Every structure is written in C-alpha cells, then in structure tokens.
Amino acid sequence: MRVLFVTPECFPYVKTGGLADVSAALPAALRDLGVDVRLLLPGYTAVLDRLRVMRTARPLTGLPGLPDDAPARLLVSVGEDELPVYAVDAPTFFARDGNPYQDGDGNDWPDNHLRFAALAKAAAMIGLEGDGRGWTPDIVHGHDWQAGLMPAYLRFDAGHRRVDTGAVFTIHNLAFQGLFPGSTLPRLGLPADAWDLDGVEFWGQVGFLKAGISYADRITTVSPTYAAEIQGADLGFGLDGLLRHRTDRLTGILNGVDTRHWDPARDPFIEVPYTSDDLDAKPANKAGVRQAFGLDETAPGPLFAIVSRLTEQKGVDLLLANLPRLVGQGGQLAVLGTGGRTMEALLATAARDHPGRVGVRLAYDETLAHRVQAGADVILVPSRFEPCGLTQMYGLRYGTLPLVSRVGGLADTVADVTERDVLDGRATGFVFHPVTAEALGQALDRAFALWKRQDLWRRVQRNAMVRDVGWAASARRYTALYQDLIDEKTRRA
C-alpha cells in the first residue's frame, strides 16, 4: 500500500501546532504496519536546510501562480525515521524566513492561496503521474485547508481518465478554512465547474477546506466526538450541511501521541526522568518549572499549567475569570503560549497582579513545553472546541492530570474523577461541561479537593500514565480506511 502524506507542517522541520506532531508520528506508525508512506512538504527553507542531501525527482511544471521563469522541482530525500520525504522546491513561494503562514508582523502571506495551491497541485501531479522515479501512490492523504485543493486537482486534472488514486482528506480544525476571494479562482487553475455549491464555492469565496470536503473520496477528522460535533450548526462553521451530506464518507479517528518523543522515562528535555512506578522524581521537575516561571517555590497547592496557542478556541479567558479562585486556594499557574496581542497582554497583567503565583512565558519553546508537562500537577485545556488536542494526552503520559472541557477529542481522551472511577482505575483527570467559567471553576474546586487526598491523587496519576495514548490502534484504522478505498477503486475499475 503506497500513501503520499501531504502536510504543511511536520515536526521537527516546521511546527506551529498539533498537526506537526501528527505528521511526524502517524507516518512512522503507518510505516510500522508495512505501509509505504512518504511525506510531501512545502520546500520551506527550514525543510531544505534540515534535509540537506536532496535529489531532483522530477520537474513540476504548471504550478499555479508561478511565472514561467521560476521553475519548480520535486526534491526527494530521506528524513526522520528513515521515511522518504518529498519537498516542493519553489523558492518564490517557500524560501521565506519565519512562520509558514505569516510574516514577521503576524499578517498572512498575501499569496497563501497560490503557495498552498502549489502544494496541492504537486500532490495531485504525483498522484496522477508518479514521482518521476517510478513511484505512484495508491492514496494521496492531505491535511487541513493547505492541502484542501488536492482532491479537486486529482479530480479535474484527470480529465476523462479514470482516477485510480484515492483522495483522503483530514480535517484538523474546521475553524481554519483557507477562504480567498472568488476572483482568485482562475489563477488556481481550476475549471469553472469547480465554482459550485458542491465544489469550492463558499459564500462567494474560494474555500480550500471546503474543496477537500467536497472532492475527497474519504474525509476523516481527528476524534469521533469532533466528527459528530462538526455535523451540527454550533461547531460546523457553516460547513455542517455539506458534512451531513457526506456523512457516509466521514470518520473520526482519534489522534495518538508520539510515545518516543513524549516519554517521562527518557525525555532528554526534562530535568529528572520518572515512571508511573516511581513518581518521586516529579517534584524535582516541578521545582524547575517554578523557577523557570518565577513562581514561589514553597507554595503548598497544585501547580496548574497551560501550553497553548492563545486563541479564542482555547478558552484561556475562562481560566482568567477564575484566577482569584485558583490563587485563593493556594494554587499556582504557569502559562507557556503565544497568540493574539490582547490575550498576551491580559496574561502579562495577571502575572503582575499575582507575583509568585502566576508566571507567564509568551514564547514558543519546545523544550520548555516538555518541562512543563513533566513538572506541573495539572494541565489545563478549557477549550470551546477541540478537534483532538494533544497536550491533554501529553499530560496523561506525564502524570500531569488534565483538566478539560467536555468537547471534541478532550471528551474522548480524559475520564472524569469520581470516587468510584478513581478506585476502579478509570478516572484520569477533571472534565467540565458546559464550557463556562463557572463550570471550569467547579472543576478547579474538585482538583483542589483531590489534591488534599494525595493517596487518591497518586492513583489517578497512575491511571493516567498507563492509559494507551500511542498511535498503533488509530494507525490501524487509517490502514483499514485506505484499504477500503483501494478496494472500492478496484471494484469500479
């Protein structure tokens, strides 16, 4: 089974969020199941620098928006875990410093529609014509709006030929839809037929995510609960009707975590390694986090933490409304995050108002993210919606109890603490609903109550740490889905 995995970000090359972690770990898990999986990434400077020895596999002529005197090529190399990696080498689009999507001032690159149309087009070219070295995938699997046009190109570029290559499209976040003015359509190289209610058109705009949903043979998203939620008006972001229409093609497959990179027993970033049988080393890691965040090292209460993008989605404002409740009961808070100016300013003020109790690092820091997971007592994820969420699973693995809202993948991965569930080994954290400041406050109270029963706290930590959050089971679900699609194409042939 040959699969081309098309993604705009992948750890350790380039990462802005959970998609990068998934793009590193899922292909490795698929490979372990015998799938010939290869990555296709934009040829960002960071990718080409890291991969160094790359060969030209084939020219990529006709990428949307590229002038004729700016040729593009498909490069190939071997990357992390010995997985083959292709990169779209189009310096006009990808040789830029900084964030893959935005300039240094936080504005979206003005040609994002062309940049990611080029990625999607290259994916479809490989799907239809091969990589120039004798390899053609059975399945092209694209991720998020940046790869959304891939199924559209696969369909339309085939012309009247039958398309054997299957298109799988995964939604990691319906809130980012890749919407561009309708006037961009001709430059994207899509036919007028695509401008349709059942195609790329979304309220007068071109919707890249919508294209993926409209034209893919199979649509997946990253948790079963989110798959159900996005078919309703509340979390459907205007696409719920289309998703209901395609419900027989839509599946929720829960993300896993990379248990090699996120393992408290052998994490090179943390101060003292530990296991579920030997949690005595956790306090040493806590001391390190307190120091890093300027927190009082003798406070008795639990240390709460957030590691997150600071956007509306993540519900950090709900937590700020509860700061007096958290600090008043002896708790501390460490926040590692980046995001909108308003939220960053509010957090900076909170740290000033509660010296020694609230510490904030407005930075993106992979090492510190690991240290926080190892050193905190509770990881907070009070999201308004959460397609899957990885940080709560890192928390489980590190015995750092997740306190989460009951939405999306958070609902699918954390089991609430009730006395009975603590004793029979099910409880792994604190879950609240509805997603309001008051319900979050009550969950904080429950965390403080459990903290007073350290014997029970330990039990929940162990429950959490032994829970299987690896990729193996979900990778098997993806291979079953790929196989089903391959069989369907063969039957039609």
Q: CB of 338: closest distance to ligand ADP in angstroms?
A: 5
User: What is the b/e burial string over 61-99, where b = at least 16 CB atoms within 10 angstroms of the residue's CB?
Assistant: eebbbbeeeeebbbbbbebbeebbbbbbbbebbbebeee
C-alpha torsion 392→394→395→399, nearest 10: 150
Task: From the list ligand ADP, ligand GLC, none, pick the one residue 146 interacts with, judged by a Cβ distance below 5 to 8 Å according to partner type.
Answer: none
Is 455 in contact with 340 (CB distance < 8 Å)?
no
Residues that bind ligand ADP (CB under 6 A): 17-18, 21, 307-309, 336-338, 364-366, 369, 388-391
CA gap 76, 51 in Å, rounded: 9
Q: Which residues pair with 334 in a beta bridge?
A: 305, 359
Euclidean distance between CA atoms 199 and 153, whole angstroms = 12
Alpha-carbon distances, residue 462 vs 31, 173, 447, 455, 457 (angstroms):
30, 31, 16, 11, 9
| 141, two tokens | 């699997």
Report the residue number, 201 or 386, with the smaller CB distance to ligand ADP: 386
Strand 401-405 vs strand 378-381: parallel, antiparallel, or unpaired?
parallel
Pick from ligand ADP, ligand GLC, none: which does 222 bind, CB < 5 to 8 A by kind?
ligand GLC
Nearer to ligand GLC, 89 or 386 (CB): 386
**For ligand ADP, the closer CB: 137 or 382:** 382
How near is the Cβ of 135 to ligand GLC at its closest, in Å?
27
Three-state DSSP state, 313: helix
Q: Which is nearer to ligand ADP, 208 or 457 (CB)?
A: 208
- Residue in the shown chain whose Cβ atom is closest to ligand GLC: 18
- Which of 101/451 has CB closer to ligand GLC? 101
How far apart CA 278 and CA 49 sit, in angstroms, is 40
Q: How many CB atoms lie within 10 A of CB 317?
A: 15
Residue 163 C-beta: closest distance to ligand ADP, Å: 31
Strand 205-207 and strand 201-202: the pairing is: antiparallel
Residue 365 contacts which entry, ligand GLC, ligand ADP, none (Cβ below 5-8 A, type-dependent): ligand ADP
- Residue 332 vs 391, nearer CB to ligand ADP: 391
The candidate with the shortest Cα–Cα distance to 200, out of 235, 209, 46, is: 209
Give the gyration radius of the chain's Cα atoms.
23
55: Cβ contacts below 8 Å, ≥ 6 apart: 75, 76, 77
Three-class secondary structure of residue 42 per DSSP: strand
The H helix count followed by the E strand count for the chain is 19, 18
Nearest distance, CB of residue 37 and ligand ADP, angstroms: 21
117 binds, among ligand ADP, ligand GLC, none (CB under 5 to 8 A by kind): none
**Binds 164, which of ligand GLC, ligand ADP, none (CB < 5 to 8 A, cut-off by type)?**
none
Nearer residue to ligand ADP within complex by CB, 147 or 450: 147
* Contact partner at residue 108 from ligand ADP, ligand GLC, none, CB < 5 to 8 Å by partner kind: none
**Residue among 130, 53, 127, 116 nearest 88 (CA):** 116
CB under 5 to 8 A by kind: which of ligand ADP, ligand GLC, none does 366 bind?
ligand ADP
Nearer to ligand GLC, 374 or 388 (CB): 388
407, 225 contact by CB (below 8 A): yes
Which residue of this chain has its Cβ atom nearest to ligand ADP in the complex? 18
Q: Give the nearest distance from C-beta 238 to ligand ADP in angstroms.
A: 20
Closest CA to 175 of 143, 215, 145, 218: 145
As measured in angstroms, the least distance from the Cβ of 209 to ligand ADP is 15
In the complex, minimum distance from the CB of residue 141 to ligand ADP, in angstroms, rounded to a whole number: 18
- Start-to-end Cα distance in the chain: 17
CB 433 within 8 A of CB 405: yes
CB of 340 to ligand ADP, least distance (A): 13
**Helix (H), strand (E) at residue 369:** helix 366-375
CB of 396 within 8 A of CB of 467? yes
Q: Which one of ligand ADP, ligand GLC, none interacts with residue 391, CB within 5 to 8 A by kind?
A: ligand ADP
Nearer to ligand GLC, 250 or 450 (CB): 250
Residues paired with 86 in a beta bridge: 40, 76
CB of 16 to ligand ADP, least distance (A): 7
Using CB distances below 5 to 8 A depending on partner kind, what does residue 369 bind out of ligand GLC, ligand ADP, none?
A: ligand ADP
Cβ closer to ligand ADP: 231 or 391?
391
Binding partner at 384 among ligand GLC, ligand ADP, none, C-beta below 5 to 8 Å by kind: none
- Interaction site with ligand GLC (CB under 6 A): 17-19, 22, 172-173, 222, 255, 386-390, 409
Q: Of ligand ADP, ligand GLC, none, which one sits near residue 337, judging by CB under 5 to 8 A according to partner kind?
A: ligand ADP
Quick check: 218 and 251 in contact, CB under 8 A? Answer: yes
Q: Tokens representing 464? A: 């959490």
Smallest gap, in angstroms, from Cβ of residue 315 to ligand GLC? 12
CB of 309 to ligand ADP, least distance (A): 5
Residue closer to ligand ADP by CB (options 156, 364) is 364
Q: What is the DSSP letter of 2?
A: E
